[in-house]
Amino acid sequence: MPNEMNPFAGRRGFWNRLNRIVYTFTGPAQVGIGHGKTEAPYEPPANPRCPICGRPMADHVVQRGDANSPTHLICPGR
């Protein structure tokens, strides 16, 4: 008895047959379940630190690249 909830049911081809079998064990993706916990939205830090030198990012210069050159982060004192 085919499962009507299986998105691969009734489709032809090897990969659909394989996915139909695997889907019976795994089920749909478990995205956004949350388990009853609410997560606060991301709040960026007020004064982020540089991952390279540890100084505040406000002291740095960012040279934006274009299609032919990369973007560069220039740390103070370098």
Q: What residue segments make up the domains of the chain, in order of their start?
A: 1-39, 41-78
pLDDT tens by residue, 61-71: 999 999 999 99
Per-residue pLDDT tens for 24-52?
888 887 776 566 667 778 888 888 999 89
Which of 5, 52, 50 is closest to 24 using CA atoms?
5
Q: Say if residues 64 and 71 touch (Cβ distance below 8 Å).
A: yes
- pLDDT recorded at residue 1: 56
What is the Cβ-side half-sphere exposure of residue 45, based on CA atoms within 13 angstroms? 7
